[in-house]
């Protein structure tokens, strides 16, 4: 099954501690088989550009490299975008 190769990449821009990020991950939990989660710690030196961009907005989510949402999970928007990507891959 090549499904995992085609799974969308959901990037979470975060830092420690981030209660809103933890909350967002809980909301996404039931859907976790449908995407790959990559967490980017914006406080790391190599992520300075992301820190400058998102320091007041985390959590921020990108889906396959494109901005999707920030502050909290909009589950309907997430579902819609995920479904769109899944249909493209079929």
Q: Say what the pTM is.
A: 0.90
What homologous superfamily does CATH list for 9-88?
Answer: Glutaredoxin (3.40.30.10)
pLDDT of residue 79: 95
- pLDDT band at 5, cuts 50/70/90? low
Walk across the sheet containing 60-63 and list its strands: 36-41, 9-14, 60-63, 66-70
Residues in contact with 45: Cβ distance below 8 Å, sequence separation at least 6, in sequence order: none
- Domain limits, the chain: 9-88
Q: Is the pLDDT of residue 48 over 70?
A: yes
């Amino acid at each position: 099954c090549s499904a995992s190769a085609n799974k969308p990449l959901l990037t979470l821009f975060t830092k420690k501690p981030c209660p809103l990020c933890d909350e967002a991950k809980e909301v996404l939990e039931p859907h976790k088989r449908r995407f790959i989660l990559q967490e980017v710690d914006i406080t790391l030196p190599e992520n300075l550009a992301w820190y400058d961009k998102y320091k007041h907005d985390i959590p921020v989510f990108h889906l396959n490299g494109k901005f999707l949402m920030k502050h909290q999970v909009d589950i309907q928007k997430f579902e819609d975008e995920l479904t769109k990507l899944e249909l493209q891959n079929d």
